[in-house]
Amino acid sequence: MTKNNPLFVDSTKLPGDLVPCHVELLKVCLRDGESVSIHLVNHEGRLIQKPLQAQEMEEGCYEARLHLNHQTQVYYQFVIEDENNNILFKSQVYCERAQYALTEQWEPSEEDQKLPVIDSNSPVSTKPTSPSGWQRERPPSYRELMEKWGF
């Protein structure tokens, strides 16, 4: 699976609607007794831990399905554990907007990064932001567009 087009936002879904998310981790080599999982903190601060399953068609590829709130900010990290649930390796912490697919390549992190703790009582914006980080509250009116373009 390839990454989604960052310019495409599903206009049929509103930010915050639940969407199925396909998580895929590539280039993983596990030994006997080891497992890989995703640890994800959603926009409400809830920690979700889900084991990834080996993909039959492609060696070294592991996947899982989650339901996330569309276009809300999530933090996630991949973890390799032994059969006693002792953490052996962690990836870096990724920060993305929830979408239909999250695909990463396995790279263990040298630093011991922890997932952020999000206060669920604090207001969290579920509005998608543009690449520049600017948020628009409402679309411009015809008058504003005409003034902007000089008509």
Q: Which of 17, 59, 46, 58 is nearest to 115 (CA)?
A: 46
Q: In the prediction, which pLDDT does 40 show?
A: 95
Range of the domain at 42: 18-149
Does the residue 106 lie in any domain? yes
Residue 136 has pLDDT above 50, yes or no: no
* Within-domain flag for 123: yes
Cα four-point dihedral sign 69, 10, 6, 106: positive
Instruction: Please provide the average confidence, as pLDDT, over all residues in the chain.
Output: 80
pLDDT higher than threshold 90 for residue 34: yes
Q: Give per-residue pLDDT as tens, 39-58.
A: 999 988 999 999 999 988 88
Closest alpha carbon to 77 in 59, 95, 62? 95
Query: Whole-prediction pTM value?
Result: 0.69
* pLDDT score for 142: 74
CATH number at residue 134: 2.60.40.10
What's the domain count of the chain? 1
Say whether pLDDT at 115 is over 80.
no
